[in-house]
Amino acid sequence: MPGEPVNAAPYRLIDDVEFGENVVVYAFTNLYGCRVGDGTRIGPFVEIQRGAVVGARCKIQSHSFICTGVEIGDEVFVGHGTMFINDRFPRATNASGALTTEADWSLEGTIVERGAALGSGAVIMGGVRIGSGALIGAGAVVTRDVAPGETVAGVPARVIRRP
């Protein structure tokens, strides 16, 4: 696998990333400890954290946040400002009042299957699976699994179209 994107863009933090062929990463991105598949394009102001996986031929639009525990399949569209959450009950401090550490929370992984599309501003809670070809409306808050081919929208997201 290539060790860096095919384009030269300033102001990028790229550390310990596995890149496929022909990956494009724009400026002002933070990518560390993740894997990005062939032909994927990552827009500016995107962060992809350690352990996250992005498939081949995906488009990750600007200002999106993909955290640890997220697996995105091939040919997925992630709209501007999409946020993934991997902790259902986040806290700044633990019961004793000390700042929380990794020992104080449970990682809830998320899977986005092939060909799904996530509208701009969507929030994807941890522990959900978004099926292949599903469409998530702009601004939706996804709190439970979305079946393949379904369209969901709203807060919380509700099915508005079935395949």
* CA 28/CA 62 separation, integer angstroms: 10
Question: Which positions are annotated as active-site residues?
Answer: 80
From CA 137, how far away is CA 51, in angstroms rounded? 26
Q: Residue 92: is it exposed, middle or buried by C-beta count within 10 angstroms (0-12/13-18/19+)?
A: exposed
Distance CA 17, CA 4 (A): 8
Burial class (CB in 10 A: 0-12, 13-18, 19+), 3: exposed
